[in-house]
Amino acid sequence: MANNAGRRTQGERDAITVEIGYALCSAAFAAAVLFGAVAGPAFLFDLPDTVKGPLLRTGAGLAVGVFVVRVVSVLVRFRRGPQPSQPGRTNPDS
């Protein structure tokens, strides 16, 4: 008799794959928007190098931070499991 304890079903593996893909795509989008908002003026306007460099570095640093925080928050939320369809109700007959 085979012991399936600890093994994931195909559905569970698919759900994890989809959630990882969602986490990466949404994090990349959020990081790109933030980078564009912070560093965009460095590309759009003729700014001196003393302003352009810090804008680019700040934008890149914030984008990396937002990317990491977004990925971690999505995956931690997924690990907790699904939320009840009716928050606050624990009994299906209530």
AA identity, residue 91 = N
Range of the domain at 18: 8-79
Residue 93 lies in a domain: no
| 40 inside domain | yes
DSSP letter at 48 equals: -
Range 61-67 average pLDDT: 97
- Average pLDDT rounded to a whole number, residues 8-21: 89
Give the C-alpha separation, 29 to 49, whole Å: 27
- Domain membership flag for residue 84: no
> For residues 55 and 75, what is the distance between their CA atoms, to the nearest angstrom?
30
Nearest to 35 by CA among 12, 15, 58: 58
What's the pLDDT score for residue 8?
Answer: 81
Gap between the Cα atoms of 35 and 49, Å rounded: 18
Residue 92 lies in a domain: no
**pLDDT of 81 above 90:** no
Q: Average pLDDT of 18-31?
A: 95
